[in-house]
């Protein structure tokens, strides 16, 4: 029996990869996004129905939900560093629309919602690393607050309406297709600068440590979260489980590119907590998931893609975007 | 030097008591509420300026903030049991308006915000009692989710803009003036029924345990939170620290009233967690606060008030409402 899956935020970085992966696994995919259908060559594209529209559009969502047993919620309207400039933007745009979506889900065929939360922001400044899912959640950006709020609403709908859910608190995802907008995605920003022969910008001294996880592994976790029968925990960290400084990342890219990177240091941002490394033990236990793409493989694959799609084509997506393998 | 205090939600149960207490302590009170000025006789009423209007009204708030060094945020648009019927109502009405208020506060004289959160709902079903402030926060109603999100936004504005704040997670407050609207306030509901000779309604079997705290003690904690120099913790439980079942409460009221109460049992509500008792050690340590009104004194005083204001006068407030001493 074919499973029909709804992907909300299907035109974004993770969303595009997810749709392709689901289609390859013979899901019927209803892909909802604000932009035109992303042109990604290869894969089983025929299995993806593209619905262009806004997540807050009740009628559109109601139609899109028809026959779907699982939904992936990958929507945010802003990004960590920018969210504090208009701290209620995501409340207005995303949280309220999510509650509306959950209300619609009550009277639909939907059995489970998989939500991409933010392992990098919901915890705030951790008192210890690696951070487990039971650590305090004190976000230092509106983006993180809103992710957390949606997590709580999912728990509410599970409690009252038996709607299954799984929250993946994803660390710093990277890989092919990631845009450099919104000051999010340091690897994407560094690679884009490198292939264009521009200096890379480092906030602070480059000692900030993050947990970088390849998008292919994130997609693997998303699919597992939708398929695993017994969700003994519903809030699960997804990361590499290891930390790497921004300088380490810059050096790794320099090694691949064989160029000497010019580093431009700018003042540290208060929104950047010093260290995030996620404890991924629960993901192994509940989902049977662990990252399977070695760092070197992932970073080389990603670099190749940026090199191929150098300059304007990265954003404007003038032609079909080719994903490897 | 006179301190000017802003009270948001001044016409409500706790707000009315708070305004009176502040005025008696020679604060200048700017009281913002949606309704007409509550007519409360006695006290230093001249110190209270009443501003009728909506918390979401930016211009009104900006004016009200002028010269205020402390603000008390007592606003919620809904109540625990009812909040799940329209789960994004408080997001729309209260959370977004609170962020707008905090934005205004950045460029005002405001030094500190005291926020009344909900000790009865932010924790959800506790894994142990008494519940400390570090316990997991998994609310089972939209009301609790929204209280929690406002707590997080206060932390954000403290971190980025050095706006001092203190969150009081208040247990089940009771006392004179409490309305019986919104299915909130079991003591108010029982007393109102009793003085009117009606049966009392008990959800479930009456074994649900709550932590009841007299409004005079809550107000005392609010004032202390605004005055204490060093807030070594910013999230503080306010309760009696002891639990009492709904049946215990009914029996206590029966003893005072000297009537035999007719109890009407209705099915338990899923929103009512079995037991809430707050650990109030932090309040003692940080605020030097402990409840000072004995249960019997508080419940008798409250009963006297309902007896005096029996029937329609309780809600309609046709004449001035007299508070004891």
Convert the pLDDT of each residue in B151-165 to its tens digit. Answer: 999 999 999 999 999
How high is the pLDDT of residue B45?
79
CB contact under 8 A, A87 and B102: yes
Residue B4: is its pLDDT beyond 90?
yes
- Other beta carbons within 10 angstroms of residue B141's beta carbon come to 29
Of A141, A142, A149, the CB nearest to B145: A149
pLDDT bucket at B187, cuts 50 / 70 / 90: very high
How high is the pLDDT of residue A76?
84
Residue B5, φ and ψ in degrees, nearest 5: -120, 135
pLDDT bucket at B180, cuts 50 / 70 / 90: confident
Per-residue pLDDT, averaged over A170-178, amounts to 96
- Other beta carbons within 10 angstroms of residue B284's beta carbon come to 12
Distance CA A72, CA B290 (A): 48
- The partner residues of A4 in beta bridges, in order of sequence, read A28
How high is the pLDDT of residue A42?
64
CA A275 vs. chain centroid, Å, equals 19
Cβ contact A245:A172 at 8 Å:
no
DSSP states along B255-321: HHHTSPPPEEEEPPPTTS-SB--B--HHHHHHH-----S-HHHHHHHHHHHHHHTTTTHHHH--SPE
- Other beta carbons within 10 angstroms of residue A127's beta carbon come to 10
Name the average pLDDT for chain B. Answer: 92
Cβ contact A294:A252 at 8 Å:
no
pLDDT bucket at A316, cuts 50 / 70 / 90: very low
Calculate how close chain B gets to A159, using CA atoms only, in Å.
Answer: 7
- The complex's ipTM? 0.92
Residue A320: is its pLDDT beyond 50?
no
For A:247-276, CB contacts with B below 8 A are 270
pLDDT bucket at B323, cuts 50 / 70 / 90: low
Residue B100: is its pLDDT beyond 50?
yes
DSSP states along B129-171: SSBPTTS----SSHHHHHHHHHHHHHHHHHHHH--EEEEEEE-
Q: Which residue has the higher pLDDT, A89 or B155?
A: B155
Of B88, B149, B152, the CB nearest to A100: B88
3-class SS at A155? helix
Per-residue pLDDT, averaged over A304-319, amounts to 65
Closest alpha carbon within chain B to A270: B160
Residue A205: is its pLDDT beyond 50?
yes
Interface contact B100, partner A, CB < 8 A = yes
Among the listed ranges A100-109, B153-162, B190-199, B305-314, which one has the minimum average pLDDT value?
B305-314
What residues of chain B lie within 8 A of the CB of A78, using their CB? none
Calculate how close chain A gets to B140, using CA atoms only, in Å.
Answer: 6
Residue B39: is its pLDDT beyond 80?
no
Per-residue pLDDT, averaged over B57-74, amounts to 97
How high is the pLDDT of residue A311?
58
How high is the pLDDT of residue A216?
98
How high is the pLDDT of residue B90?
85
Q: Which residue has the higher pLDDT, A310 or B221?
A: B221
Closest alpha carbon within chain A to B123: A152
Residue A97: is its pLDDT beyond 60?
yes
- What's the predicted TM-score (pTM) here? 0.94
Chain B interface test: which of A156, A272, A273 (most B C-beta within 10 Å): A156
Residue B70, φ and ψ in degrees, nearest 5: -135, 145
Query: For A257-299, what is each residue's pLDDT tens digit?
Result: 987 889 999 999 988 899 999 999 999 999 999 999 999 999 9
Element (H, E) at A70: strand A70-73
CA B46 vs. chain centroid, Å, equals 24
Residue B86: is its pLDDT beyond 60?
yes
Residue A59: is its pLDDT beyond 90?
yes
pLDDT bucket at A230, cuts 50 / 70 / 90: very high
Distance CA B184, CA A142 (A): 30
Of B87, B96, B140, the CB nearest to A88: B96
Distance CA B92, CA B80 (A): 16
What residues of chain B lie within 8 A of the CB of A235, using their CB? none
pLDDT bucket at B320, cuts 50 / 70 / 90: very low
Of A145, A160, A270, the CB nearest to B160: A270
Q: Which residue has the higher pLDDT, A42 or B272?
A: B272
Chain B interface test: which of A91, A125, A143, A165 (most B C-beta within 10 Å): A91
Report CA torsion sign: A107, A111, A116, A118: positive
Residues in chain A: 325
User: CB neighbours of B138 closer than 8 A, spacing ≥ 6?
Assistant: A152, A155, B123, B124, B125
DSSP states along B222-267: HHHHHH-S--S-SEEEES-S--EEHHHHHHHHHHHHTSPPPEEEEP
Interface contact A104, partner B, CB < 8 A = no
Please report, rounded to a whole number, the percentage of residues in chain B having pLDDT higher than 90.
Answer: 80
């Amino acid at each position: 029996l074919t499973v029909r899956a709804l992907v909300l935020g299907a035109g974004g970085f993770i969303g595009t990869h997810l749709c392709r992966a689901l289609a390859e696994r013979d899901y019927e995919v209803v892909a909802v996004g604000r932009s035109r259908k992303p042109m990604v060559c290869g894969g089983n594209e025929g299995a993806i129905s593209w619905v262009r529209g806004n997540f807050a559009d009740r009628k559109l969502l109601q139609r899109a939900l028809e026959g779907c047993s699982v939904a992936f919620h990958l929507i945010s309207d802003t990004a960590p560093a920018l969210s504090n400039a208009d701290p209620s933007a995501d409340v207005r745009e995303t949280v309220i629309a999510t509650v509306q979506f959950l209300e619609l889900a009550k009277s639909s065929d939907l059995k489970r919602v998989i939500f991409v939360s933010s392992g990098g922001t919901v915890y705030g400044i951790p008192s210890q690393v690696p951070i487990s899912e039971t650590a305090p959640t004190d976000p230092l950006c509106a983006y993180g607050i809103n992710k957390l709020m949606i997590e709580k609403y999912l728990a509410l709908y599970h409690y009252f309406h038996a709607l299954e859910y799984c929250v993946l608190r994803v660390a710093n995802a990277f890989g092919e297709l990631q845009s450099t907008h919104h000051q999010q995605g340091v690897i994407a920003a560094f690679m884009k600068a490198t292939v264009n022969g521009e200096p890379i910008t480092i906030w602070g001294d480059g000692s900030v440590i993050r947990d970088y996880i390849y998008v292919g592994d994130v997609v693997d976790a998303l699919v597992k979260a939708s398929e695993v029968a017994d969700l003994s925990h519903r809030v699960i960290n997804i990361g590499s489980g290891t930390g790497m400084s921004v300088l380490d990342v810059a050096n790794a890219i320099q090694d691949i590119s064989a160029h000497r990177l010019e580093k431009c240091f700018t003042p540290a941002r208060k929104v950047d907590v010093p260290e995030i490394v996620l404890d991924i033990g629960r993901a192994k236990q509940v989902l049977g998931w662990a990252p399977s793409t070695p760092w070197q493989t992932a970073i080389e694959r990603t670099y190749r893609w940026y090199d191929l799609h150098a300059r304007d084509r990265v954003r404007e997506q003038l032609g079909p975007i080719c994903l490897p393998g």
